[in-house]
Chain A
């Protein structure tokens, strides 16, 4: 080990002595910053990760569509199923309807699903908490919990459905008659965007309501476990000519995920200030050390140390504080994340509102996902900031003239 690195370590952690106050405070500052960054960024990652999982589970991993109507969808499904990465595929049609119950109208999105194939892609049965999937036929709908709550609809109630096609017919002076449909079940997926407002009906009903003939709007694709959806979308695209396009459901919810990503970056930026504040403590402490150890600096110079070596000795102290502080921050951060259930329970016990919070955030426990890339970014930022904090004192030390330093009282 070069002498200046050795001296830097010994200044921070002197042999046979208590940890100096400067070392303790500087390391604590960096550790707090790194710890908070790890916790907050991992929780944000957890939200994003859980959302992706929920989106993939409730919508399938990929979809094949052409932006209009896929006419010969059975042929396309056969092509998809020939690929070993594709576990299942189900046709679907999408649109919006006006749903009216007791003169209260709402305008939810509607989805027509193949009653035989849908379950292979989306575990819809497990989301139905009232009614039954088996009761869904061409004259009935499944409604999301949000619609059921808003319109106070129960299983067995009748609702009126109006489609854009009916309004087109109204323009041609035809009498507008809604399609009366029975509520066969109420579902809740845990994904707020879906649960707030979605109507499911049979594919045949949807084709009829939207005048699709035998066509569908898209084919939902479920991939075999462990297959990367983004890469599979690129590979599967080779089997289809434009305008048919294979895309990820994540893409369709990109705006939602982008908000989480944006919030994560903002939190990273804000929490980084804790590390920056900590670095000021490093800078002031090291400046004090340079003044306190002026004679020692003079001694090193008298023994033949170069200015850059003396500067490196103090700069390395900032670096070492950064490394040790980051490591401690990571360890405490991981520990707190592993104890998060107990911590959140204790917090909710004190402030209350656990049920409401869980309902709002739709996760039963605080989600956490640790990304190696994020950890590397946090570590690099923390260590670089701490090292930069040591730079000014280091330059001051390097510029000291040996004789003046030795004369210092």
Chain B
């Protein structure tokens, strides 16, 4: 594995225009995550946590500053090249799971690998089944997402994010829609899988207990991380 930081961000700024007003959200953020490191980010609602995650995930373009994934700068990459790099380096877990309702659980997990075109169909299916076993849903591959509980859906989303063996997982309040017990179980799973596979994890959460599990805890206030 490379010694490059899984992600490196410097002087990151992002603002939104609402009518005539320019609203700054991120103001010169510097940030770095080492390979396999677990970093949590907390902050009040609307402080820009999701925007930060979107920008470092290449889903939004910063106004200034730079983002590097595994030493590769995102500046100058066109939309398709950026998408290819994202498929290779980044896995994203959302609060709302975002499973595709028309396909079964196995195919949902496989989707990330199919998009990333990482391995043959046969190998992919085997890897997806193994990953489903790892998240405790080995016997649910043929079920449709609508038949799963919220916790099970999030497990599927975690399996999908980890299947492509990304360098970094960005998790945006992955337990936000779950009860405490299920949320804790999901966090256990996500943390253990990331540590086991040496995948860096950036967790945005409102839950102080979950944040406390991280190697490093950061709080976003007024567009910057508190010192």
Contact = CB atoms under 8 A, between A and B. Distances in A.
A304 B144 contact: no
Contact of A15 (B84, B111, B144): B144
Interface string A287-329: 0000000011011111111111100000000000000000000
Contacts of B114: 2-3, 6
* A contact residues, range: 20 to 34
Interface string A382-409: 0000000000000000000111001000
Contacts of B57: 302
A306 B83 contact: yes
Given A16-B144, A403-B59, A406-B59, A302 B102 contact: no
Contacts of A300: 111, 115
> Most A CB atoms within 10 A — which of B83, B90, B104, B160?
B83
Contact of B111 (A3, A295, A401): A3
Nearest to B121: A1
Interface in A1-19: 2-3, 6-7, 10-11, 14-17
Nearest to A304: B87
A403 B111 contact: no
Contact of B102 (A17, A301, A304, A306): A17
Interface in B85-112: 85-88, 90, 92, 94, 96, 98, 100-104, 107, 111-112
B212 to A, nearest CB: 27
Interface in A109-137: none
B144 A307 contact: no
B103 A304 contact: no
B153 to A, nearest CB: 13
A406 B94 contact: yes
B54 interface: yes
Contacts of B59: 301-302, 401-403, 406
Contacts of B116: 303-304
B120 interface: no
B92 A303 contact: yes
Nearest to B88: A304
A219 B59 CA distance: 82
Contact of A296 (B100, B104, B112): B100
B115 A15 contact: no
B60 A306 contact: no
A289 to B, nearest CB: 11
| Secondary structure of the A contact surface, majority rule | helix
B146 to A, nearest CB: 9
B80 interface: yes
Interface residues of B, number: 30
Contacts of B100: 7, 10, 296, 299
Given A295-B98, A403-B60, A304 B86 contact: yes
Contacts of B86: 302-304
Contacts of B122: none
B98 A296 contact: yes
A57 to B, nearest CB: 59
Contacts of A309: 115
A363 B57 CA distance: 73
A309 B117 CA distance: 12
Contacts of A14: 101-102
A298 B109 CA distance: 16
A250 B61 CA distance: 70
A3 B113 CA distance: 9
Given A15-B104, A15-B144, A403 B79 contact: no
Given A15-B102, A15-B103, A303 B115 contact: yes
Contacts of B90: 304
> Most B CB atoms within 10 A — which of A3, A11, A304?
A304
B105 to A, nearest CB: 11
Contacts of A301: 59, 83
A6 B112 CA distance: 13
A6 B116 CA distance: 15
A24 to B, nearest CB: 16
B223 to A, nearest CB: 17
Contacts of A308: 80
Contacts of B112: 303-304
Contacts of B94: 299, 406
A303 B108 CA distance: 12
Nearest to A3: B114
Interface string B63-85: 00000000000000001100111
B96 to A, nearest CB: 8
Interface string A150-171: 0000000000000000000000
Contacts of A303: 86-87, 92, 111-112, 115-116, 160
A401 B55 CA distance: 12
B98 A10 contact: no
A323 B80 CA distance: 29
A302 B114 CA distance: 13
A307 B80 contact: yes
B73 to A, nearest CB: 18
A308 B78 CA distance: 13
Nearest to A399: B79
6 contacts: A6-B103, A10-B102, A302-B57, A302-B92, A303-B115, A304-B86
Given A295-B98, A305-B115, A406-B59, 17 more contacts: A6-B103, A6-B107, A7-B102, A10-B102, A11-B102, A15-B144, A16-B144, A298-B98, A302-B59, A302-B86, A303-B87, A303-B92, A303-B160, A304-B112, A401-B59, A401-B60, A406-B54
Interface of A: 2-3, 6-7, 10-11, 14-17, 295-296, 298-309, 401-403, 406
